[in-house]
Amino acid sequence: MFVKIHPFQDGNGRAVRLIEKWFLLVKLGERAHSIQLEKNYYQKLTDYYRNIKSFGLEYVTLNYHKSIDFLLITEQSMGEE
């Protein structure tokens, strides 16, 4: 949702990935450091962007029911630790 609000002129995706890592650190503790989110996103870049676009392009029209494929990219990263 943060990236869809688009608060910065540049760096929204990086900020969101940092927030995601922080969230995982809060929920999982130190073992979250071993989750290679950035590497997995890079390796699946086409899927990453397609999945982000699938649940809407503008904040007011987001359909979170369509975000499961995007969330599964994170889940897959966790399985590779």
Per-residue pLDDT tens over the stretch 17-76: 888 889 999 999 998 888 888 888 889 899 988 988 888 877 788 888 888 888 888 787
Is residue 80 very low, low, confident or very high in pLDDT (cuts 50, 70, 90)? low
- Cα–Cα distance, 33 to 31 (Å, whole number): 5
User: Between these two residues, 8 and 54, which has the higher pLDDT value?
Assistant: 54
Six token digits for residue 3: 């990236």
In this prediction, residue 11 carries a pLDDT of 82
- The closest alpha carbon to 68, from 54, 49, 79, belongs to 54
CA–CA separation, 69 and 5 (whole Å): 20
pLDDT beyond 70 at 2 = no
Enter the pTM of the model. Answer: 0.68
